Amino acid sequence: MHPTKLGDHSFKKGKFTTPINSIPLMSPLEEEKTWTYGRMPEYLWIGLILNKHGRMDGLNKLHHIITKIHEIAPNILVPRLSDILDLESHNQIDIFQFIAQTSSKETLAPLTLIFTLSKEPDFVQCCYCPNMSVESRKKFLIETMEKNMGQHSNEATDIRFIVLYYQLLSGRLHLPKNELDIILKYPTLPHSAEEMRIIRQSVRSIEMMSLQMEKANSSFLKFFWRCISEMTECNPYSIRFPEEENDISKYMDQLYEVLSYLLQLFVNINPLDDKINVIVGIATYSYKRFKEAYDHNLFNTITGRSCVRVLIENYIMLKYLVKNESLHENIWRDYQYYGIGLYKLVLARHRESGENRNAHVDKDYIEALVNEFKGEEFIDMDTRYFDQHNIRLKAESVNEKELYGLYYDYDSSFEHGLWGAIRESSLLKCNNPAHQYHCIPDIDNNNLLKSVLADCVMVMNKMLIFLNDIYTIPSPLFEEVTGFEI
Amino acid sequence: MKSNFLFQRILLIQSEYKNLLSNLNAYFNGNISYEALDEINLFWLRNMEVVKLYLTNEFARKDSYVFTASTFLDFEDSEQYPFLLIGMQHVLDDPLCKYSNICSKMPEEKIAEKLFEQIVKTVKDNLKVLENCNNEIIILPLRLLSQTPENSLLFQMGEKAFSSLFNNINNLKDFFEKCNSFDDVLRYARKDIENIVKFSESDDKTLTFEQRFNQAKEENLYMLEAEISDAHYFFIMVFGNIQQAVDVIVSCVEYECFPFIRYSVVLNYILLLEEVFSDITFISEMRYKMCVANLLYQICEKDRLSKFGFKRFTDIIKVLGFNQMLFKTLAKENIDEKTFVVNEAVPVIEKCLEQLYTALEIN
């Protein structure tokens, strides 16, 4: 199945809605009716029998068992464990004793880890084996859960077949003869048979047909998941992309040479010109961010992503300023005072708060910078975007929509601490089915993010190419630096 | 509003444990219930990580005491009163968690009446503590936490201590190769062994060492295999106590708390083992606080402590700051972990207790 294209989504008030969610009354299955969370725990007993005896023998034994359950408790419409455990004591004993006779007492013993004497005395009386240690019971339970967590696995489909067969037996479900004939082939064929591809799909879809009529047993599910998760430990695994090992010292030297050349141009040719001041200033800021990432080997880190983001933003802003200089009088000076105005706002807040702690914002220094060339009383504070266009619109206007859409937005997730970035960088996957494969904090920094070096070089070089168009960087230097590839 | 998330969870565990024991109480009438013991074990295993987190972060280093090396507290005999006299936080080390493993490894006929009686008594006593002590005493399975892979190291410590009772015996293998009869044990034993070894609470040191051994053997026969040698009997009775002492020391060192030891046998072996752990700085403070606690236990008059009820007792010891008062008074008399001598400490403790009795009576 191919993912839906962006254009196929509806876009209203800044929100993309998927085609499936645009259909009225269409919603995903309630969690308690999903296979993994809601149904698998109810049918885990079937999985234990199949796991114990293998598929063919297990299905055969289960045929006898579910026939017996239906005979003892005809009101049960699906063979859910919670329904069986709700039966009267003598019925429960008859069922569990029959299972113990047909299979063995040990088969369901792993479930005594969860359903204990004080809660389910009849079940425990029939299935508890004193010689089965906690560890061995845990092992069987986890092994069976692992096989059956995915709703499409062959093992889970075997369980779903038994559930479906039980519904046919109980008369809850009726199928046309041709469909019934197909379904009844299921236990006779191995999973490797070509025909089984279609039969498995039929089993899974028909098994779900009656879900609307069912009411999940919430307390049973909560109890099951709480016990099983408390009984087992997390099994975390990390994603480690290759550590950045490319040697870019030569590139950094060349980059320095370019910046040095630009500095000379500025200082020696036009030291009082606002345009070259802003352009070289932006380029230098990008260089310094890149250099910090290089000096501290931050290419595989969250901070590395922040670096790419600012390189992109600087590059887009540079192009935007140049593009609009003829339309916006004094754009170079306005750009500077837009930034200084925002500094003044921070300064004003600090003054008014009376805050005197030794924070990283140095009020006195900020005050000096704000008043550096113009008295602050003459500087306005514009809290909107510069030129009233956000970075996305600016990117579009300078034909850098892709740079924004493919990278900047992704890096913004890291900059703003949005959940995608938190999940990717700061959480590990726990490979324990009993914990529903939840995520756990990566406080030991086991995850290693993919390196941003190639993207840093790519954006930096875009900026150099742009600067070359304006100032013409000496060609051997320019060619060497822009020809650098990771 | 600030809330203590972890402690709230511990209180919830106490409440769930109370409900569990109440529900299982009925199964402890008559035959041994493996299923019930299994459920208790599972309960603690499920909560083990929370318990560890609590012990490490809320209990450790807070002048905390653990009532351990006993099968139960004995609520009906007012044993909660002396226990609460000393320290700021109190945990009762629950032995029930271990019975499931012990019983599942023993043939049913061996799980004699006496052991089963112990289990039943402990269940009932735990319930009384949970129902009546207002969470002043928290029941947690400290001894379950020592069932870790490091156990082999603990075993080696016990082995070393046991071997040190003999000359020319280096380890347990050596002991069993050289000793079969009680005479063999005596042949290799250190000269002062009869002063070091204590077989039971009723061990009478006026008797000969052999008489004492035979008496202890009689008392413990219900737990011992019939066809083992006297050297093996000796090993079981002594090594069991040594191993228990090792467990107590290791748990208390790990969670930086002090053991409240009621019985002199265990106290004897803990003091004996000090040398093994002498390089741990906490040990000398632990020994001092443990000895003061035991002395306090021996001296105090439970009738006078319990006369006005549990609530009044706990209120008064808090208002009076009995624990701080006790150690300040001892310090004033130049008694501390370096200078502690029982005979000098007794009158000081008695004086403090008198103040407490008076406060209880006046209020």
When mean pLDDT is compared across A279-288, A351-360, A424-433, B284-293, the lowest value belongs to A351-360
- Select from A118, A134, A233 the Cβ nearest to the Cβ of B20: A118
CA atoms within 13 A on the CB side of B97: 22
- Whether residue B18 lies within 8 A of chain A, CB to CB, comes out as no
Same domain for B143 and B157, yes or no, is no
A254–chain B Cβ distance below 8 A for any pair = no
- For helices B282-299 and B264-273, give the axis angle rounded to 10 degrees: 160
Taking Cα atoms as reference points, which of B325, B272, B266 lies closest to residue B294?
B266
A128 touches chain B (CB under 8 A): yes
Q: How many residues does chain B have?
A: 363
Give SS3 for B267. helix
- Candidate from A131, A134, A227 with C-beta closest to B41: A134
- pTM assigned to the model: 0.86
Phi, psi of B90 (to 5 degrees): -135, 125
- Look at residue B226 in the predicted model and tell me its pLDDT: 65
Domain end position, chosen among B147, B174, B197: B147
> Which amino acid type is present at position A285?
Y
Identify the closest residue of chain A to B26 by CA–CA distance. A118
**Number of domains within chain B:** 3
Average pLDDT over residues A332-355: 95
Statement to judge: residues B307 and B286 lie in one domain: no
**Does B143 lie in the same domain as B1?**
yes
Dist CA B15 CA A322 (whole Å) = 71
Q: Could you tell me if B234 and B286 lie in one domain?
A: yes
E strand or H helix that includes residue A479: helix A475-482
Adjacency order of strands within the sheet including B64-67 = B138-140, B89-93, B64-67, B258-260
Q: Look-up: residue for tokens 């296979």?
A: A35
Cα gap A230→B48, rounded to integer Å: 9
B41 chain-A contacts, CB cut-off 8 A: 134
pLDDT tens, residue by residue, B96-130? 988 877 776 666 665 556 778 889 999 999 999 99
Instruction: Report the distance separating Cα A14 and Cα A18, nearest Å.
Output: 13
- CA distances to A290, A379, B70 from A470, in Å: 22, 30, 87
CB contact under 8 A, B35 and A116: yes
SS3 A4: coil
B55 and B173 assigned to the same domain: no
Neighbouring C-beta atoms of residue A49, cutoff 10 Å: 24
Q: What is the dihedral of CA B195, B201, B203, B206, to 10 degrees?
A: 80
List helix spans (H) across chain B. 5-25, 34-54, 80-85, 96-105, 113-132, 142-145, 151-163, 172-178, 182-188, 193-196, 209-220, 230-254, 264-273, 282-299, 302-306, 310-320, 322-332, 342-362
Contact list in B for residue A131 (CB cut-off 8 A) is 104
B209 and B255 housed in the same domain: yes
How many whole angstroms separate alpha carbon B198 and alpha carbon B261?
15
**Chain A residues with CB inside 8 Å of B104's CB?**
130-131, 133
Q: Do residue B57 and residue B20 come from a single domain? A: yes
E strand or H helix that includes residue A428: strand A427-430
Does residue B249 share a domain with residue B134?
no
What crossing angle do the helices spanning A249-269 and A274-295 adopt, rounded to 10°?
160
Residue range of the domain that includes B237: 148-292
- Torsion from C-alpha of A368, A374, A379, A384, nearest 10 degrees: -80
Q: Does A136 touch chain B (CB under 8 A)?
A: no
What is the reported pLDDT for A11?
85
A319 or B223: which leads in pLDDT: A319
Task: Name, in order, each residue with C-beta under 8 angstroms of B183's C-beta and a sequence gap of 6 or more.
Answer: none
Residues 288-327, chain A, touching B (beta carbon < 8 A): none
Domain-ending residue, one of B127, B147, B167? B147
Give the bridge partners for A430, in sequence order: A236
Report chain B (363 residues): mean pLDDT per 10 consecutive residues: 86 97 89 89 94 94 94 95 97 90 68 77 96 97 70 81 92 93 94 90 89 88 73 91 90 95 92 83 94 96 96 96 97 94 95 96 81
As a whole number of Å, the end-to-end CA separation of chain A is: 34
**Around Cβ B347, how many Cβ atoms within 10 Å?**
11
User: What tens digit of pLDDT does each residue of A1-54 get?
Assistant: 688 888 888 888 888 888 888 877 667 778 888 999 999 999 999 999 999 999
**Interface contact flag, B45 A125, Cβ < 8 Å:** no
- Report yes or no: A129 and A105 within 8 Å, Cβ to Cβ: yes
**B265 and B125 both lie in a single domain:** no
Q: Is A112 on the interface with B (CB under 8 A)?
A: yes
User: CA-nearest residue of chain A to B25?
Assistant: A118
| B75 and B25 within one domain | yes
**DSSP class of B107:** -
Which of A111, A117, A128 has the highest number of chain B CBs within 10 A, making it the mutation to test binding with B? A117
Burial string for A349-381 (b: 16+ CB within 10 Å, else e) reads ebeeeeeeeeeeeeeeebbeebbeeeebeebeb
Smallest CA–CA separation between B351 and chain A, in Å?
Answer: 49
* CA of A398 vs chain B CAs: smallest distance (Å): 52
Interchain proximity B35–A113, CB inside 8 Å: no
Tell me, what's the pLDDT at A172? 85
Candidates B81, B88, B59, B83; CA nearest to B260 is B83
Mean pLDDT of the A65-77 span: 95
Straight-line distance from the first to the last Cα atom of chain B, in angstroms, rounded to the nearest whole number: 34
Model confidence pLDDT, tens digit, residues B48-88: 999 999 999 999 999 999 999 998 999 999 999 999 999 99
B33 and A CB contact within 8 Å:
yes
Q: Chain A residues with CB inside 8 Å of B24's CB?
A: 117-118
Contact status, residue B245 vs residue B266, Cβ threshold 8 Å: yes
ipTM rounded to 2 decimals: 0.84
The SS3 of residue B3 is coil
Question: Residue B299: its pLDDT value, please?
Answer: 96
Radius of gyration of chain A (CA): 33
Please answer whether residues B262 and B79 qualify as being in contact, where contact means their C-beta atoms are separated by less than 8 angstroms. Answer: yes
| Cross-chain CB nearest to B42 (options A130, A131, A134) | A134
CA distance A51 to B52: 35
Q: Which of A267, A275, A271, A391 is nearest to A336 (CA)?
A: A275
**Contact pairs from chain A to chain B, CB under 8 Å:** 40
Amino acid letter for position A62 = L
| Chain A interface, best mutation among B18, B46, B105, by max A CB count within 10 A | B46
Same domain (yes/no): B217, B278 = yes
> Which amino acid is located at A170 in the chain?
S
From residue A455, give the alpha-carbon distance in Å to each of A299, A380, A420, A423: 10, 36, 20, 22
Distance CA B301, CA B164 (A): 38
> In chain A, what residues touch B23 (CB-CB under 8 Å)?
118
**Hey, are the CB atoms on A231 and B23 less than 8 Å from each other?**
no
Cα gap B156→A146, rounded to integer Å: 39
DSSP state of B258: E
- Contact in structure between A184 and A47 (CB atoms under 8 Å): no
Alpha carbons B91 and B84: distance in angstroms, whole number: 10
* Six token digits for residue A280: 């070289």
CA distance A140 to A108: 10
Question: Could you tell me which of A73, A137, A100 has the C-alpha nearest to residue B104?
Answer: A137
Which has the closest alpha carbon to A400: A324, A451, A452, A463? Answer: A463
Q: Is A392 exposed, middle or buried (0-12, 13-18, 19+ CB in 10 A)?
A: middle
As given in the structure block, the two tokens for residue B40 are: 């208790």
Q: How far is B2 from chain A (nearest CA, A)?
A: 24
Q: Does B36 touch chain A (CB under 8 A)?
A: yes
Between strands A10-12 and A236-237, the pairing is: unpaired
Quick one: B135 and B235 in the same domain?
no
User: What is the rounded average pLDDT of the residues A195-214?
Assistant: 88
Quick: pLDDT tens for A238-262. Answer: 999 999 999 999 999 999 999 999 9
Minimum distance, in Å, between the CA of residue A208 and any CA atom of chain B: 34
Choose the final residue of a domain: B87, B113, B147: B147
Strand-pair partners of B140:
B93
pLDDT at residue A397 is higher than 90:
yes
